[in-house]
Structure 1
Amino acid sequence: MTTNISKQSIVKMSWPIFVEVFLQMLVSNVDQFMISQYSQDSVGAIGNGVQVMNIIIILLTVMSTATTILIAQYLGAKNQEKISETCAVSLLINGVFSLIASILLLLFNQELFVWMQVPTEILADTCTYLRIVAYGILFQGLYFSFVACFRGYSLMKTTMGVSIVMNLFNILGNWILIYGFWIIPPMGVAGVAISTNISKILGLIIIFILFKKYLGIKISKQHLFPLPWNLIKRMLSISIPTGGEALSYQLSQTTIMKMVNVFGLVVITTKVYVYIIVMFAYMYSLAISAAMQIVVGYLVGADKFNEVTQKVWYTVRIALIAGTGITSIFYLCSDTIFSIFTNDPEVLALGKTILFIEIFLETGRAVNIVLVRALQASGDIKTPVSVGIICMWTIAVGCAYFFGIVMEMGLAGIWIGMMLDECLRAIIFIYRWKSGAWRTKKLV
C-alpha cells in the first residue's frame, strides 16, 4: 500500500466489501421475505429465531476475525507452520463452540422463547425454526474458519463467490420447501430452516475443496496435541475486546425483542420488516468503515496522525450521507416499500412512524460504525467496548422500556430509546476522537 492514499481509494476499496456484507445479510432477509408470502405470522417466528442466531453468528465471526489477523501476520513473516497451526486451532475452537451452542439451543429453545415472551400463536413455529437451524451451527462454524483463512490471504473474491452460490441455493431451497414442489409437501417455517442448513452444508463443502486446492495449508493432529495454549490465548486476546461491543449489541437487541413481543403480532411483524429495510440503510456504512479501517491502521503505523483524522472525518461524512439519505427515501416511500411484504394498514401506518424515528437513529449509527472501527484500528480498543456496553444497556434497553412499556408508547417508544442510545454514543465517540487520546494507543 502506498503512502499516498486518496479519498477515492477508500470508496473503491469499500465496494468488494459491500458486496460481501450484502450477501451475508441477504440470507435471513430472503428467508423472511419469502415466508411473508406464505404466512404473516411466520415472519414473527423466524424474526425471533434469527435474533437468537445472530448472537451465535457474532461470536463465530469474532473468532474468525482473530484467525484472519494472525494468518496475515504469519504470512508476512513467511511462517507456514504457524499458519497451519492457526487454521487448526480456529477449526477446533469454532467446532467446539458450535457444538456447545447447538446442544444448548436444542435443549432450552422453548425456555428461551418463553423468557423472550414470544406469543403463543407463533411459539411452536419459532421453536421449530431454531431447533432445525441449531443442527447447522457446526457447519456454519467450520465454514467461518475456512473463510477466515482465505481472508488472511486476501482472497476475498473466492469467499464472495461461495456466498453467491450459497444464497442462490438457499433461495431455490426456500421456493421448493416453503410452498412444496412435486412430491415435496409445503413445509412453511420448517422448510426455511431446512433450506438454510442445506445451503450451509453446501457452502462448507465448496470452501473446503477450494481450501485444499488453492491454499495448500496442511492441517494435522500434531497442530492440536498438545494444545497450543499460547496461540489460543492470543486469539482470545484479539477476539474478546473486538467482539464485546458487537455481542453486547446483539444481546441488548434480544432483550428489546422481548419487549416488542409484549405488543402482539402486528408490532412484531412491523419490527421485523423495519429491520429488513433499514439494513440496506447502514450496509454501506459497514463496508466503507471496513475499508477505512485498513487505511487508518496503515497511517497510524506510519505515524501520519493528521492524515488519519482527515480520512476518518471524510468517511464519517460519506456514511452520514448514505445512511440518512437512504433512510429518508425509505420514509418517503414507506407505503410502497412495506407493500412488498404486506398490505396490512396497521403495519403500513406503524412502519412509517418507525422509519421517521429511524432517520435520526441512522445519524447516530453512521457516526458510531465509522468511529468505533477507527478507534479499534488506532489501538483504542477498550473505549468502544466499555462505552457500548454501558450505553446499550442503560440507554437503549432502559429508555426502550421506559418509553415503550412505562409510557405506553409501544414500538415507537422502543425505537426512541434505541435512537437515543445511538446518538449519545455518537457524541461520546466524537469527543473521544477529537481528544486525540487514540494517538497514544498505537499497537506496534
Structure 2
Amino acid sequence: MTLHVSPQTRRVFYLSLPIFAELLLQLLVGNMDQFMISHFGSAAVASIGNGNQVMNVVIIVLETMSAATTILLTQHIGAGKTGDACNEIATVGTAVSAVFSLGMGLLLLLAPEVLFTLLRTPAESFSGACLYTRIVGGAVLLQGLYIELCAVLRSYTLLREVVSVSVVMNLLNIMGNAILINGFFGLPRMGVAGAAVSTCISKAIGLALVIWTLRRKCTIRFSLRYLRPFPWTTCKHLLGIAMPSGMESLSYNVSQIFILRFINLMGTAVIATKVYASMLANVAYVYSIAVAQATQIILGYLLGGRKLEEVSPRVWSTIRIALMVSELLTLVIFFFCDPIYSIFTDDPVIHTLGRQIVLVEFILEVGRSVNIVMTRCLTTAGDVWYPVAIGIFSMWIVAVAGGWLLGHTLSWGLVGIWVAMACDEGLRGALFTLRFRQGQWRKKRLV
C-alpha cells in the first residue's frame, strides 16, 4: 500500500527542516554556555540558568514582533502586494524592534540586581547571574535586529540561508566559550563572564552575515524614506498582531520566572536539575515550533490569497506531525536520560530527579505540541486575542498557583511544579483546538 502525501504537506515538511535545524542551533548558543560552564559547579550553572530565564522574556517579546512581520509579509506576498508595501513592513518592524531592544538593553545593563533580588536567586549564584545578564542583556540590540531580519528572510522562504548563518554563529560561540571560559591561548580564565562575551561576539557576527545575505538574495530594501512620514497604519497593523502575542508570550515567561522563584527556594541542586530538564524539554518540542513556523508561512500565503478551504487540513496535518515527533524525541531522551545527565554532572540527586521529570514530559509534550501549533495558526489567521485571554488565565491559575500548591504545599517539589505545567499546557491546547473548530478565524482579515 502506498502512503499518499499531499504536495502541501511535503512543502511544509521541507520548510520545517531548516527551521528545525536553525532552532536547534539557537538553543545550542544559549545552552552551550550552561554545558561548557558545568565543570565550574552547580552555582555557575544556576547563574547562567537565571540569566537566561530573564533574557528569554526579552527575546520572546522580540520574536513576537518578528512573527508579526512574517504574518504581514506572507499575506501581502500571497495577495500579490509586494514592492514598497513589503519594504515598508520590514523597515517599520525593524525600527520598532530596535527601539525596544535599546530600552531593554539599558535596563538589563544598569539594574540586573533588582531582577535577581525579586527572583530570590541564591547568594552563591547572584553575582554570576548579574554579571552574565549585564553583558548579554547590554548587547540585546544585536539579538533584536538578528531575529527581525531572519523573519524577513523566512517570509521569502530563504530558510537555508538562515540555517547557514546559525551554523557559523553556533560554531563561533563554541570556540569562543572554550577560549574565554577556560582561558586558553594565554587569556584570563573568565568563567561566566567568558560565556557571556562569547555569546555577544557570535551574535554580532551572525547579525553581520544576515545583513549581507539580505542584500544579496532578498528583494526587500530598507530605507529611512519608509519612516518619513512615519507609517502609523503599518505600525498599528504590526502591533495589532505583536502586542496580543507579546502579552501571551510575556505572561508565559513571567509566569516561568515566578515558577523559577519557587524553585530557587529548593537549593542549587534542584535549580541545576531544572536547567538541565528545560534544556532537554527544549529539544523535545523544538520540532513542534519548527513545523508550526513552516505552517505559519504557508497559512500566510493561503490566507492572503483567500484559499480558506485549504487551511484546516493543513493545520490538522501539522498537529499530527508535531505530536508524533515530540513524543518520539521524549522517548529517546527517556532511554538515554542517565548518559545525557552524566555529560553535565555525576550528582545522583540530579539524575534521579531528572528521570522523574522526563516521565512527566510525556504528558506535557502532548498539550504543548497542540498549544504551539494552534496558537501560531490562530494568530496568523488574525484571531489574536483569544490565545491571550486563555493563556493568561491558565498560566497563572494552573501553572503558577498549581505549581505552588503541588510543589510546596503538598511537598512534591520540582516534580509537582512540572505536573502543574503539564496541566496548563494541556488545558490551553484543548481550548485552542475547540476555538479553531468553531471557525471564528474565518471572519478575520489582515490584508
- With normalisation by structure 2, the TM-score equals 0.91
Counterpart of 2:16 (choices 14, 17, 29) is: 14
Q: Could you tell me how far 1:153 is from its partner in structure 2? A: 2.9
**1:31 counterpart (26, 30, 33):** 33
User: Structure 2 stretches of 5 or more lacking a match?
Assistant: 1-5
Query: Deviations 1:345-378 (Å, cap 9, x if unpaired)?
Result: 0000111111111111112111212222232344
The 3 A distance-change label for structure 1 pair 320 and 206 is closer
Shift of residue 79 of structure 1?
A: 5.0
Mapped to 2, the partners of 1:216 and 1:290 lie a distance apart of 21
- Give 1:438 deviation, angstroms: 3.7
Q: 2:74·2:297 contact (CA, 8 Å) conserved in 1?
A: no
Q: Distance in 1 between matches of 2:82 and 2:426?
A: 45
Structure 1 range deviating more: 124-133 or 224-233: 224-233
1:294-305 equivalence runs, <5 A: 294-297=297-300, 302-305=306-309
Give per-residue Cα distances to partners, 1:109-130, cap 9 Å, x unaligned: 1111011010001101110100
Match of 2:404 in 1: 401
Which of 185, 189, 194 is the aligned partner of 1:191?
194
Give runs of aligned pairs for residues 216-231 of structure 1, distance below 5 A.
Answer: 218-231=221-234
Change (3 A) 1:225 1:310: closer
1:235-262 superposed Cα distances (whole Å, 9 cap, x missing partner) = 2112112333222211111111111111
Further displaced range: 395-404 or 330-339: 330-339
Alignment of 1:341-360 (within 5 A): 341-360=344-363
2:130 paired residue among 122, 127, 130: 127
Per-residue Cα deviation, 1:359-409 (whole angstroms, up to 9, x for no partner): 111121112122222323443322222111110111111100111122222
1:172-211, aligned counterparts within 5 Å? 172-211=175-214
Structure 1 residues 364 and 220 mapped into 2: Cα distance closer, same or farther (>3 Å)?
closer
Alpha-carbon distance, 1:226 to partner = 3.5
Q: Is the 8 A contact 1:38 1:179 kept in 2?
A: no
Note if contact 1:136-1:200 (Cα within 8 Å) is conserved in structure 2.
no
Equivalent position amino acid for 1:250 in 2: N
How far did residue 188 of structure 1 move?
0.6
Tell me what 1:54 maps to: 56
Distance in 2 separating the partners of 1:78 and 1:422: 37
Name 2:3's counterpart in structure 1.
none
Q: How does 1:24-423 map to 2 (within 5 A)?
A: 24-72=26-74, 77=80, 80-215=83-218, 218-297=221-300, 302-305=306-309, 308-423=311-426
After superposition, the C-alpha distances for 1:268-307 in whole angstroms (9 at most, x for unaligned) are 00000001111111111111222333444555655554x5
Deviation at 1:150, TM superposition (A): 2.4
- Answer whether contact 1:74 1:80 (CA < 8 A) is retained: no
Q: CA deviation at 1:222?
A: 3.3
- Shift in Å, 1:18: 1.2
- Report the Cα distance in structure 2 between the residues aligned to 1:264 and 1:365, rounded to whole angstroms: 28
Which residue identity is paired with 2:120?
Q
Q: Secondary structure at the match of 2:185?
A: coil
Percentage of matched positions with identical amino acids: 44
Paired with 2:319 and 2:286, the residues of 1 have a C-alpha distance of 14
**Alpha carbon RMSD of aligned pairs, Å?**
2.3
- How many residues are aligned here? 440
**Shift of residue 78 of structure 1?**
5.8
Whole-Å Cα distance in 1 between the matches of residues 36 and 226 of structure 2? 44
Counterpart AA for 2:432: F
- The secondary structure found in structure 2 opposite 1:408 is coil
Q: Secondary structure at the match of 1:182?
A: helix
Cα distance between partner residues in 2 of 1:127 and 1:247: 21
TM-superposed CA distance for 1:74, in Å, is 5.5
Indicate if the aligned counterparts of 1:404 and 1:414 stay in contact, CA closer than 8 A. yes
Measure the CA separation in 2 of the matches of 1:211 and 1:171.
25
Q: Which stretch shifts more, 56-65 or 339-348?
A: 56-65
1:63–1:90 CA contact under 8 A, matched in 2: yes
Per mean C-alpha deviation after superposition, the further-off stretch among 130-139 and 205-214 is 205-214
Q: CA deviation at 1:443?
A: 4.8
Equivalents in 1 of 2:32, 2:318: separation in Å? 29
Deviates more, 1:144-153 or 1:274-283: 144-153
Bigger mean CA deviation after superposition, 428-437 or 166-175: 428-437
Other structure's SS at 1:37 match:
helix
Task: After superposing the two structures, state which structure 1 stretch, 336-345 or 15-24, moved more.
Answer: 15-24
Higher relative contact order at CA 8 Å, sep ≥6: structure 1 or structure 2? 2
What is the letter of the counterpart of residue 185 of structure 2? Answer: W
Q: In structure 1, what is the Cα distance between the partners aligned to 2:345 and 2:181?
A: 18
